[in-house]
Amino acid sequence: MYLTLQLYELTADPKRKEFLDELFSFMQKRGSPVNRIPIMAKQVLDLYELYRLVVTRGGLVEVINKKLWREITKGLQLPSSITSAAFTLRTQ
């Protein structure tokens, strides 16, 4: 859990803690525990913000169908120079 503590500390939003607790519990139950901090473009990938951005655009299916991954990468403040960012987010 120490490795993922940094994800909890990105903001003080109480919904962040609830989301991450549920995510980590789900991943543990399915046999794929989160053992490392996700990194993208040499920065911590904020899983809660990723979730929030996808939900506000109608959910995963809408983001995929409308090809909104570039908007998601902008919302996550990932560098535009990383051309594979949208693909990486979509496939991971």
* Domain annotation for the chain: domains and CATH numbers: 5-91 (1.10.150.60)
The pLDDT value given to residue 75: 93
- Region 59-72 average pLDDT: 92
Statement: residue 1 has pLDDT above 60? no
Question: Band of the pLDDT at 70, cuts 50, 70, 90?
Answer: confident
Burial of 16 (0-12, 13-18, 19+ CB in 10 A): buried
Does residue 31 come out as left (phi exceeding 0), alpha (psi in the -120 to 50 range) or beta?
A: left
The pLDDT value given to residue 50: 94
The pLDDT value given to residue 11: 82
| pTM summary value | 0.81
Residues 26-57 have pLDDT tens digits of 999 999 888 888 888 888 889 999 999 999 99
